[in-house]
Structure 1
Amino acid sequence: MADLRPAIIRAHQIGRGVREIARFLDIPVMTVSDAIKRFEESGSNKDRPGRGRQKTKAWNEITLDTLVKIVDNFPKRLKACVDAKGGHFK
């Protein structure tokens, strides 16, 4: 999609409609609309910074010791959930 953004923006700038652009490029109307909106808000058609990175960073910061504790504790927590019939448990 990122490779189509310049074409979407250029077509929009010369007066083509969202549906016309979508039909010509064979992509969803919302994709065209989102690309135009992104350009109008930021002045750029590049990806926004920070998307998805925080989760990866947080995941990589979990220690092996913590992961072992989570895995070892899972059967106990699953049993508590089943005993509570999906309701609240500690």
Structure 2
Amino acid sequence: MTAQLIKQLLTEALAPQTLEIIDNSAAHAGHAGNRGGGHYHVTIVSPQFEGKSMVQRHQMIYQALGDLMKQQIHALGINALTPSEETKGN
């Protein structure tokens, strides 16, 4: 399962305090441009995001997922927070 692999890779790379993965693939099956691969939304809270811009955080996630972004993941929504941002409700 791709969601399990996403969880494993992000956990190993970013040691998140919170990690939620939502698989929206069924809602997008067969739409134009989708040549396979799933649609996922990730909410991740990691102390490793401290001092990083949103772009840098996304790059860290893409790097952790590596080749999954080429085949198994067609679309990825990301909500990447630091622990202090999560407690503020951002």
TM range (shorter): under 0.3
Higher relative contact order (CA 8 A, sep 6+): 2
Q: TM-score, normalised by structure 1?
A: 0.26
Computing the radius of gyration from Cα coordinates, the structure with the larger value is 1
- Normalising by structure 2, we get a TM-score of 0.26
**Greater strand share, structure number:** 2
